[in-house]
Amino acid sequence: MSGVGALLVISGPSGAGKSSLIRELLKQIPNAAFSISTTTRQKREDEVDGVNYYFTDKESFQKEIDEGAFLEWANVHGNFYGTSLRQIEKLLNDGKLVILDIDVQGYMLLREKLSRYITSVFLTTKSREDLKTRLLLRQSDSQEVIEKRLKNAATEMAYIKEYRYLVINDDFKTALAQMLNIARAALNKRALTDTDKFTKTWVES
């Protein structure tokens, strides 16, 4: 891939606050863009198709898998999530800082293909009990789904060591400040992806 953009991958348990932090990052970071994933899960009341996710059915999703349309995809809680290859290529080629909200399965696949572009963050709560409280307050899932999310969160925690940064979202302002610092580091990393071109220009100047 010839682009000079960068990828900021954010993973972590559902309910840890990823969406809220990403919204603020997009407001405060110039040249940032959010990678909109495709999913087969049901749309929540406050979500908009084409803004939060591209919502589709499992048959259409499987067709896109067969066509090689996804850079990565995963089955999470019985629903499919995927990242469009074409979308990522365009954003990177436009020099964007691309923010991705993907699970640990997706991150591991993405890292195999685009590791040089990636700055990774694992975002979580201070405890399992705190995460459970947040999921209950959200009032968007049944008790059965919440228990499934908590079980999946415990599995995801084992992957923390695979990420470059760990952010504990106990206080939103503190977590946001940390995320902004990491995003700026990702932008600096982006500047190093085209070192061959820079070196050639420097030598010839």
Kindly report the average pLDDT of the chain as a whole number: 88
Residue 78 CA to residue 67 CA, distance in Å, equals 21
Side chain identity at 81, as an amino acid letter?
Y
Q: pLDDT, tens digit, for every residue of 125-179?
A: 999 999 998 888 887 778 888 888 898 888 899 999 999 999 999 999 999 999 9
> Are the CB atoms for 104 and 162 separated by under 8 Å?
yes
- Gap between the Cα atoms of 95 and 2, Å rounded: 10
Q: What class has domain 6-204?
A: alpha beta
Q: How far apart are the first and last CA of the chain?
A: 27
- Identify whether the C-beta of residue 182 lies closer than 8 Å to the C-beta of residue 119: yes
Q: Domain boundaries in the chain?
A: 6-204
Helices (H), ranges, the chain: 18-28, 58-66, 85-93, 104-114, 128-138, 143-157, 172-191, 195-204
Distance CA 42, CA 5 (A): 32
Task: Please give the structure tokens belonging to residue 200.
Answer: 């050639």
Task: Give the residue carrying structure tokens 């990491």.
Answer: 182
Token duo for residue 53: 């996710």
- State pLDDT tens for residues 83-117: 998 889 899 889 899 999 999 988 998 998 888 88
pLDDT attached to residue 116: 85
Specify the pTM.
0.81
Phi, psi of 33 (to 5 degrees): -145, 145
